[in-house]
Structure 1
Amino acid sequence: MKPQKVRRRLEQAVGSGRAVDLVRDSLGQDDRGFVLSLSGGWVALQVLADGVYVDGVVLLRVQDISAVRDAHSTYVARALERLEQTLASFAIPTGADARDLLILAAGLHPFSAFAVEDDGDEALMIGRLLKAGRKQARHRFIDADGTWADADDRWKYDEIVSVYIGGRYIDALARFADPGPADLAP
């Protein structure tokens, strides 16, 4: 799909209440959910997990999206209504870049989470944002077992392809993981 058509479909999906699939061929990733907002370079998507459960919000680079497909059905609408699932309200600030979004997300949730491109895949980095410098972020990673890394990682902002705000998995890590070293205190 041409970039202009992707953008047009994203614009149409903003606030429509219709589920869409965002295809990111270059990363081998599809994301299903509801488009909450769109800026020049980023789109906010409320994730639709397991077919009918609204989950966290993910901010995706528009340049990585290769197709936008309608994924809504009367079943999805009916299930969301009966499960009393409501969508978040989230607006991407005008002109926001990866650094801005990383700082914003870290202020909204105890754990920061973002993905970087790793050989055509997405590698999810969950942990705590320690510093947002001019060119790179300093971040301490926590693994799937809730154990903190011994050292910080540094990531350039142009390596970040998505930023996550909450969600069941990230919320569980924030709630049940090891408390971590004293230097990680929020």
Structure 2
Amino acid sequence: MTATTLVRVERKPKYADHLEGFVLRVGAKWALMAQTVDGGYFDGLIAFRVQDAQRITDDESVAAAFAKTLPEWPPTYTPEVDLETTAGLIRELGGSDNLLGIQKETERRATWIGTLDTITGRYVYLHEVRPDGTWHPAPLGYKLRAITAVEVGRRYYSALSVVAGEKPRPEHLTSR
């Protein structure tokens, strides 16, 4: 696997979809991929658990060739990302005001999208945006060990962010 080869990753979790993209980095626990959608268009980054990868195959379709013609080629992610711990990965990917998506594909097919509020012990708290573009009134917590994928930079997240408007201040800052 190199960052110049489009791959398809089949994963083990019960509700996991396959992933397509260019693998940028691989750590002991997590792999970081520049995700692509139909046709080879880039659509954000996704980190997935290395242990969940069941099968990885090269994609030699037109999508692989087309991706190399896009202005975003070659896909990169320059900041160092902690691929050894779930808390570190989420902290670094969710460190800006951009929306972050987490998945728990052993439990259900869903993505929880929001801004990072806090990480405490074994939980991550997101201030979530609902599918209708409204903010949930308070951060919700998720067990770090249950998270199977983390996404940032998706086009859908950009649209959701525009509709949702101003992001709420983290609750731990407003409760003082």
| 1:80 and 2:67 aligned | yes
- CA distance 1:148–1:94, shift in 2 (3 Å): closer
- For residue 125 of structure 1, what is the aligned residue in structure 2? 112
2:85 aligns to what? 97
- Gaps in structure 2 of 5+ consecutive residues: none
RMSD: 2.4
SS at match of 2:133: coil
Q: What residue in structure 2 maps to residue 56 of structure 1? A: 44
Q: Residue type matched to 1:47 in 2? A: Q
- Compute the displacement of 1:156 (Å): 1.3
Q: Tell me whether 1:20 sits opposite 2:3 in the alignment.
A: no
Query: Residues 183 and 133 (structure 1 numbering): CA distance in 2 closer, same or farther, change over 3 Å?
Result: closer
Give the 3 Å change call, closer, same or farther, for CA 182–104 of structure 1 in structure 2: closer
Selected match of 1:43 from 15, 24, 31: 31
Residue 165 of structure 1, CA deviation: 1.7
Q: Is the 8 A contact 1:19 1:32 kept in 2?
A: yes
TM-score for both structures, normalised by structure 2: 0.84
The answer to whether the 8 Å contact 1:14/1:38 transfers is no
Mapped pair 1:115 → 2:108: no
- 1: distance between equivalents of 2:112 and 2:27? 23
- Which residue in the other structure is 2:152 paired with? 165
Show structure 1 runs of 5+ residues with no match: 1-12
Percentage of matched positions with identical amino acids: 25
Instruction: Give the one of 16, 34, 41 matched to 2:22.
Output: 34
> What residue number does 1:69 align with?
57
Q: Which amino acid in the other structure matches residue 177 of structure 1?
A: A
> CA separation in 2, counterparts of 1:141 and 1:148?
6
Deviation for aligned residue 1:125: 0.9
Q: What CA deviation, in whole Å up to 9, does each residue of 1:108-139 have, x standing for no partner? A: 452222112353x3421101111111221122
Q: What SS class does the counterpart of residue 32 from structure 1 fall into?
A: strand
Counterparts of 2:10 and 2:57, CA distance in 1: 8
Deviates more, 1:98-107 or 1:164-173: 164-173
CA contact (8 A) 1:52 1:79 kept: yes
Bigger helix fraction: 1
Retained in 2: the 8 A contact 1:25–1:66?
yes
